[in-house]
Amino acid sequence: MNVLILMVDEMAAWAIGSGVRTPNIDRLAARGVTYEAAYTPSPICVPARAAIATGKYVYETGNWSSAEAYDGRVPGWAHQVRDAGFEAVSIGKLHYKNGSLDTGFERQIEPIHIPGGEGWVRGLLRKPLCDYAPTAEMAQQIGPGHTAYHDFDRRVAREACEWLSDPARRARPWCAFVSFLSPHYPLIAPPEEYAQYDPAADAQAPEPVPDHPILQEMAGFFDHDAHFDADTRGIARASYRALCSFVDRLVGQVVDALEASGQAEDTLVLFTSDHGDMLGQHGFWAKSVMYEASARVPLIICGPGITPGRRDDPVSLIDIAPTVAQAMGLEVGAYTGRSLLAAPQDDSRTVLSEYHDGGASVGLTMVRWDDGGGRWKYVHYAEGYPPQLFELTADPQEAHNLASERPDQVAQARRRLSVWMDPEEVNLRAHADQALVIEQLGGRDALLAREQWNFTPADSR
């Protein structure tokens, strides 16, 4: 089969089928399998995308932060597809180190990479944490309007449609990675989509940050919520919904082009997002934490041989790489992830997510699994900070930390985690690697003197 990967940026799993108008994504869901418990390998763009590219977890690749991007040294699915003689192309955001490195693609059309090949270097300064000034922009850049991100996403859709309609696509099997920026902030939405939503319905008072030392630390660094009031929270949330509808329209254009090309019957389609967005829940905006709105993502697969339905066993975005490989008749054994085409439902499976980036002085590691007693999530905070434990069926809002009440499940979580890695060793390794990067970039004072910014420009190459 051919494979078409449709990736959006910062779309939470709840945005599908919950009052957000996404008819084209819903169309894919009606034709395919929707994974209700799909998780990002890291709730921030750059590490997540490196893990997606390689089919390996962050602790395996060492792409810890937004300043340590994928450079192709760990081979990924694009290398495998290309080396097999098939066509591998990217259209849109990659967020790799730069466009000159061999990351497997024959062509990169309209790519976005980390700025200057260095990325968000302020996030490296974790011990001690520094300040982060641009957080006020989140509350200022909201409502109906226009941004360069909208123009970029329209170009991506146009380029993808033209690429799919080219008769040359029939010459050999292909895998296309089509990657949009929306609904990533700034939370400014095209007026036609914004008009579909009522900001007053989303107006809300602030939610308290949980009484946890690392989460308090992160909320102090990412103090976005301090700049909102009830009305602007409503405008921002309505804008986010509108951006989801905007990118849904573009996804629909690409799917229509695939169908018009006559290749739909030979193409596996995967739709997902690199991570979610908190939108003020628990006092956080954007991503970086392990709550469901940040760490759980939409994942839909449809195409030849796919029986429509829903699955609620835990899966990970590192499963995309082996899924691509199997769909194209290639080996899957080099990946940590599992092919979603081969795996029967496995409610006992453990999946991980990690965060080693700005705002957190220690590493965060999430473990997610199901058992007969519930749907469990454990969050390990390195260096002895207290853990969190949630049972998601009874507590979908993750309001009640059960770590002190259920030592049996904490012990099970730690056993499951130990099968994969030692989070304390990984935390030390991440800090050591980041210290080297800080030194290579001129030292802490040099990084503190750099201009601060809040999101990757749409023209970053």
Residue 439 has pLDDT above 90, yes or no: yes
Residue 342 has pLDDT above 80, yes or no: no
Residue 6 pLDDT:
98
- Identify the band that residue 345 occupies on the pLDDT scale cut at 50, 70 and 90: confident
Per-residue pLDDT tens digits for 64-91: 999 999 999 999 999 999 999 999 999 9
| Bridge partners for 378 per DSSP | 367, 389
Per-residue pLDDT tens digits for 250-264: 999 999 999 999 999
Residue 427 has pLDDT above 80, yes or no: yes
Residue 175 pLDDT:
98
Residue 161 has pLDDT above 90, yes or no: yes
Burial 40-68 (b: 16+ CB within 10 A, else e): bbbbbbbbbbbbbbbbbbbbbbbbbbbbb
Cα distances (Å, whole numbers) of residue 96 to 65, 113, 116, 361, 369: 12, 5, 11, 24, 30
Among all chains, which residue has been given the structure tokens 């989140």?
138
C-alpha closest to that of 148 among 93, 108, 199: 93
CB proximity list for 330: less than 8 A, separation 6 or greater: 80, 81, 84, 324
The torsion angles phi and psi of 455, rounded to 5 degrees, stand at -155, 155
Mean pLDDT within 353-367: 98
Per-residue pLDDT tens digits for 168-207: 999 999 999 999 999 999 999 999 999 999 999 999 999 9
Residue 133 pLDDT:
92
Q: Which two tokens stand for residue 150?
A: 């909208």
Residue 105 pLDDT:
98
Residue 373 has pLDDT above 90, yes or no: no
Residue 346 pLDDT:
81
Residue 190 pLDDT:
98
Mean pLDDT within 434-438: 98
Per-residue pLDDT tens digits for 288-308: 999 999 999 999 999 999 999
Residue 118 has pLDDT above 90, yes or no: yes
**What is the edge-to-edge ordering of all strands in the sheet holding 267-273?**
107-112, 87-93, 174-179, 2-8, 267-273, 299-302, 33-35, 309-311
State the Cα–Cα distance between residues 293 and 295, nearest whole angstrom.
6
Residue 348 has pLDDT above 90, yes or no: no
- Identify the band that residue 344 occupies on the pLDDT scale cut at 50, 70 and 90: confident
Residue 343 has pLDDT above 80, yes or no: no
Contact 181, 9 (CB under 8 A): yes
Mean pLDDT within 313-326: 97
The share of the chain scoring above pLDDT 70, in percent, equals 100
Per-residue pLDDT tens digits for 403-423: 999 999 999 999 999 999 999
Beta strand 374-381 pairing with 299-302: unpaired
Residue 347 pLDDT:
78
Residue 79 pLDDT:
98
The mean of the pLDDT values for the chain is 96
C-alpha closest to that of 53 among 336, 430, 421: 336
Per-residue pLDDT tens digits for 22-65: 999 999 999 999 999 999 999 999 999 999 999 999 999 999 99
